[in-house]
Chains A and B, each alone.
Chain A
Amino acid sequence: MARGRAALWALAGLLGALSALFLFWQISGPVDFVLPLRATKLAALVLVGAATGIATVLFQTVAANRLLTPGIVGFDALFIFLQTGLVLMLGGLAVAGLPAFARFLGETALLMLAATALFGLLMRRDAGDVVRMILTGVILGVLLRGLAEMAQRLLAPSEYAVVQQAMFASFGAVERDQLAVAALVLALAGAAALRMAPALDVAGLGRPMARGLGLDHDRVVFLALALVAALVAVSTALVGPITFLGLLAASLGRVVAGSDRHALSLPAAALSGAAILVAGQVVFERLLGMQSTLAVLVEFFGGLLFLALVLRRRRG
Chain B
Amino acid sequence: MIEVASLSYRAGPVPILHDIRLSLPAGGITALIGPNGAGKSSLLHCIAGLNRPAAGSVRIDGMDPFAVPDRTRARQVAILQQSPALASRLRVRELVAFGRWPHHGGRPGPEDAQATAAALAAFELDALADRPLDTLSGGQRQRAMVAMAHAQATPWLLLDEPLNALDPRHARDLMARLHALSRPGPGARSVVVVLHDINAAAIWADRVVAMKAGHVIAADSAARVLRPDLLEQVFDTAFEVIEHAGRRLVMTL
> Which residues of A are interface residues toward B (Cβ below 8 A)?
197-199, 201-202, 204-206, 208-209, 211-216, 254, 258-261
Q: Are B70 and A214 in contact (CB under 8 A)?
A: yes
Cross-chain contact B81 with A205 (CB below 8 angstroms): no
Total interface residues on B, CB under 8 Å, equals: 27
Residue in B70, B83, B106, B107 whose beta carbon sits within 8 Å of that of A209 in the complex: B83
Given A201-B98, A202-B98, A261-B94, are A214 and B50 neighbors across the interface (CB < 8 Å)?
A: no
Check A213 against B81 for contact (C-beta < 8 Å): no
Scan residues 15-53 of chain B and give those whose CB is less than 8 A from a CB of chain A.
48, 50
Residue from A199, A213, A260, A261 within 8 A of B74 (CB atoms): A213
Query: Beyond the given A199-B106, A213-B102, A260-B89, could you list 10 further A-B residue pairs with CB under 8 A, ordered by the A residue number?
Result: A198-B107, A205-B98, A206-B84, A209-B81, A212-B48, A212-B74, A213-B101, A214-B70, A214-B101, A216-B70
Q: How far is the CA of A202 from the CA of B90 in the complex (A)?
A: 11
Q: How far is the CA of A254 from the CA of B90 in the complex (A)?
A: 12
Chain A contacts for B84, CB-based, 8 A: 206
B52-111 interface with A by 8 A CB criterion: 69-75, 78-79, 81, 83-84, 86, 88-90, 94, 98-99, 101-102, 105-107
Assess whether B70 is in contact with A205, with CB atoms less than 8 Å apart: no
- Rounded to whole angstroms, the CA-CA distance of A216 and B106 in the bound complex is 13
Which residues of A are found within 8 Å of B90, using beta-carbon distances?
Answer: 260
Cβ–Cβ < 8 Å partners of A259 in chain B: 89
Write the nearest CB–CB distance from B39 to chain A, whole angstroms.
17
B182 within 8 Å of A by Cβ? no
The reply on B8 being an interface residue by CB < 8 A is no
Between A and B, 15 residue pairs with Cβ closer than 8 Å are: A198-B106, A202-B101, A204-B88, A205-B98, A208-B81, A209-B81, A211-B70, A212-B78, A212-B81, A214-B69, A214-B74, A214-B101, A214-B102, A259-B89, A261-B94
Contacts of B89 in A (CB 8 A): 254, 258-260
Top-5 shortest CB links A-B: A214-B74, A198-B106, A214-B71, A214-B102, A214-B70
